[in-house]
Chain A
Amino acid sequence: MKAYITRRLLLAVPVAWGVVTMVFLIIHMTPGDPVAIMLGESATIADMESLRSELGLDKPVLEQYAKFLLNVVSFDLGNSIYTGRSVAESISTRYGATVELALASMALAILLAIPLGVMAAARKDTVVDRVGMALSLIGVSMPSFWIGPLLIIFFAIDLKWFPVSGRGGVESLVLPAITLGTAMAAILSRLTRATMIDTLGEDYITTARAKGLENYVVLFKHALRNALLPVVTVAGLQLGALLAGAIITETIFSWPGIGRLTIQAINARDYPLVQGCVLAIALSYTFVNIVVDILYSFVDPRVRLR
């Protein structure tokens, strides 16, 4: 177990390296000059040159890259070009908001998707199945920037159940979590249905039924347990994606998360902040997947971690 975790964590290192290298290349290829954006149009060439050299942007790209890697290795993400604040600090104040939203969406999606998937599988090819799956497809086909405002109009304005936007108590979390969780619930419920159908065809289920166990017990105790395996994996991948993909939902609900921070950093060509955000997102993604794989081994003793 310990060896496995160590191995997985070590494997995360090349991935992290790849991600930071990729982001470094991309931002240096993208047109736009942080110095010009920062100093405005009245800046003289001399001013721009001096700021550029202060930020190290006048050095050869390879040298900048080497320096950047060295800093990352020593856990120094540098300071934001604009605010002067440390990148690590800027990210940490925003990270919690994103994690909170991602976990809430996930919880909601799972609570909705698994019962729906099980029900659809148990009554395969009936009206319940068809309607359930059609609903889930509708869920996946509504872009969050459309569903979000509709939810606000209905639940916050007409019913006044929840605040319109902003990050406050638990009640402010509900609408953005639904917005973000809908598509995921759709994906998970379809997956649950598919794996449940596979599992329900297995011999041991037939045996269990033959023993006269109640349908409910067979479904939830015997079948679901095994059907959940791929669902857990995909849920993990999705959770990772949520950490990065919440930009639109964060924008609509004025949620101060890392997605908006990333977009702003990109727009301002705040290189250190962009690099820091992407690294944080990538590491969370990788970490979530390691955790999921470990969880997997708890759920299914047949899976042995190597």
Chain B
Amino acid sequence: MSRLPTTFIFGVVVTLLFIFTAMLAPLVSPYSPLEQELYAGLEDPGTEHIMGRDRLGRDILSRIIHGARVSLTVGFVTVTVSVVVGTFIGAFAGYAGGKVDEVVMRVTDIFLAFPGILLAIAVMAILGPSLNNVIIALSIMGWTGFARLVRGQVLSLREREFVLAARSLGASDLRIVVFHILPNVVAPVTVEATFGVASAIIAEAGLSFLGLGVQPPTPSWGAMLAEGRQFLLIAPHMTTFPGLAIMVAVLGVNFLGDGLRDIIDPRE
């Protein structure tokens, strides 16, 4: 393997940094993310509060550090759920082929054609707004991409020699799928998943903009950005820092994905 590209190293470092920050949030954050001091609302960045304070006088840096928990949880859990569901359905459709495949693909078409926002509103209205339900809503929209990807891979793999060989040796379908086909799907799915993490983080911000995100006082980057938007003209620091946090995290996770692709796929 050639030298690792700097972007990949950057990606790994940033991603790990964010994950550790999220895990150690209570230890590393300088203030409580919830402590309000109303009289200091919208305070500019300064020496005590280096990223300034939000409308209720809470320390923005501390909120970003705690917000990493929510945003990364949403990002990683949504993608994990989507990958598991999508892989299962995609593998099933691709391996079964024929009518089953046709039906499953039409179902994914339905989900793709369905406006995600309506689904999100419905999920929040039926189940109530919460972090878990944000993940559920995003996963309902997220699995289709993985299902299509896996199905495509399985379709091409199942006629390959090693699969045919396994079958001729009497391996069961389940065994073939789990031990022979899926391992070959891991690479493209992993790469796709890192991009999925980034889009889930951004989607959570979009839901917050529509008021469908996690509920207060839990800070999330998306909710902070959505909240700060009202004060864009008088307190730009309220949007700049959570915006930067999202940007750096997305950059990091995507560089990680790019790097993984380069490593996994030697053609490039």
- Chain A residues within CB distance 8 Å of chain B: 11, 14-15, 18-19, 22-23, 26-27, 29-32, 125, 130, 133-134, 137-138, 140-146, 149-150, 153, 197-198, 201, 237, 240, 244-245, 247-248, 259, 262-263, 266, 274, 277-278, 281-283, 285-286
Contact = CB atoms under 8 A, between A and B. Distances in A.
Interface stretch (B51-59, B107-115, B165-173): B107-115
B116 A142 contact: no
B151 to A, nearest CB: 15
B125 A31 contact: yes
B250 A140 contact: yes
Contact of B202 (A140, A197, A285): A140
Closest 7 CB pairs of A and B: A18-B110, A141-B250, A282-B113, A244-B115, A285-B113, A26-B122, A141-B247
A137 B251 contact: yes
A143 B201 CA distance: 10
A301 B229 CA distance: 49
Given A245-B116, A282-B113, A14 B106 contact: yes
A39 B239 CA distance: 40
Given A14-B106, A248-B209, A143 B246 contact: yes
B198 A140 contact: yes
Contact of B205 (A137, A143, A274): A143
Interface in B108-136: 109-110, 112-119, 121-122, 125-126
Interface residues of B, number: 43
Given A18-B110, A31-B126, A244-B117, A145 B209 contact: yes
Contact of B229 (A137, A145, A245, A262): A145
Chain B binding surface SS class: helix
Given A19-B110, A22-B110, A262 B115 contact: yes
B226 interface: yes
Contact of B125 (A32, A138, A197): A32
A145 B267 contact: no
Given A26-B122, A262-B118, 9 more contacts: A14-B106, A18-B109, A138-B247, A141-B251, A143-B225, A262-B117, A266-B121, A278-B115, A282-B115
Contacts, number: 123
Interface string B118-159: 110110011000000000000000000000000000000000
Given A23-B118, A31-B126, A143-B205, A201 B113 contact: no
Contacts of B188: none
A266 B126 CA distance: 13
28 contacts: A14-B106, A18-B109, A30-B126, A125-B5, A130-B7, A134-B7, A140-B250, A141-B202, A141-B250, A142-B247, A143-B202, A143-B206, A144-B206, A145-B205, A145-B229, A146-B225, A146-B239, A149-B229, A150-B232, A153-B233, A244-B115, A247-B117, A248-B209, A266-B118, A266-B121, A281-B115, A282-B114, A286-B113
A149 B206 CA distance: 15
B126 A137 contact: no
A198 B261 CA distance: 13
A259 B121 CA distance: 14
Given A27-B122, A140-B198, A286 B109 contact: yes
Nearest to B5: A125
A288 to B, nearest CB: 10
Contacts of B121: 30, 266
A278 B114 contact: yes
